[in-house]
Amino acid sequence: MTTATLPYRVTPARVLRSEWHKLWTLRSTWANLIITSALTAAMGAGLGAAYDGTGEGRMDTVLFVLLGTQFAQINLGVLGILATAGEYSTGQIRATMTAVPRRLPVLWSKAAVLAATALPLTLATNLLTFPLAQSFLTGTDQSASLGDPGVLRALTGNAAGLTLLAVLALGIGALARSVPMAIGAYIGLIMILPEILAMLPYESVDDAVRYFPGKALEALTTAQPMPGTASPGTALLAMLLWTTATLAVAATVLRRRDV
């Protein structure tokens, strides 16, 4: 008489748990998140302490305080890229796809775990950084409170935008399958390409550039919408479309290409 062994079932919950474990057992994840929060808070406090109100032109208060999120764009993007392209560079992706032959649950789980990590981290950092910086800005033209119109929306919008950028970077990593190539493509899309296109003497190009991910993040980070930028709602929609499209292409490539 033989005893039948039940096959190990691959379920969405188990794939999700596996990806959560992989992300959080890496020391680079902890270092990345700590550095991201620390740089954002430190730069916000430093700018607040150094500001004397003599600058030309008034920048939006939330955008001014959260200038440190420029570092967060890179740090969280690298974290997203390492979650996918990093596995290709180490060869671990073969074991992952052997365990999950359908493949796509791996991509969705990676994206969900990264979003669940990035959103609360960035939101908590923003809610800490803003009052910290404002403690130095009392009495200046940059003085504001969390209850002022648009402030909480901008702090939350920035966190949502950074989270979408991290997931977008994850999709780029899945497409490039190379950490250096993915980082180059990500930085090019977020920071370099919009600036190059903005120099072209075409109004239609200027209109399109405002919906690029980096520019859309700036629009999300302003308490009061600025002229020549997308509205917060449109900016969020643009970032959702960029991220969704990148993940959709990555999913198609993942299904058709060999690991």
User: Tell me: the pLDDT tens digits for 213-251?
Assistant: 999 999 999 998 888 888 999 999 999 999 999 999 999
Confidence of residue 34 (pLDDT cuts 50, 70, 90): very high
Instruction: Render the burial of 211-250: b for 16+ CB within 10 Å, e for the rest.
Output: bbbbbbbbbbbbbebeeebbebebbbebbeebbeebbeeb
Mean pLDDT on 188-216: 90
4 pLDDT exceeds 70? no
| pLDDT score of 8 | 62
Q: Write the pLDDT tens digit of every residue in 89-123.
A: 888 888 888 888 888 999 999 999 999 999 999 99
Residues in the chain: 259
Confidence of residue 259 (pLDDT cuts 50, 70, 90): low
pTM: 0.92
3-class secondary-structure state, position 101 = coil
| pLDDT score of 210 | 92
Mean pLDDT on 31-54: 91
User: Beta-carbon neighbour count of residue 178 at 10 Å?
Assistant: 15
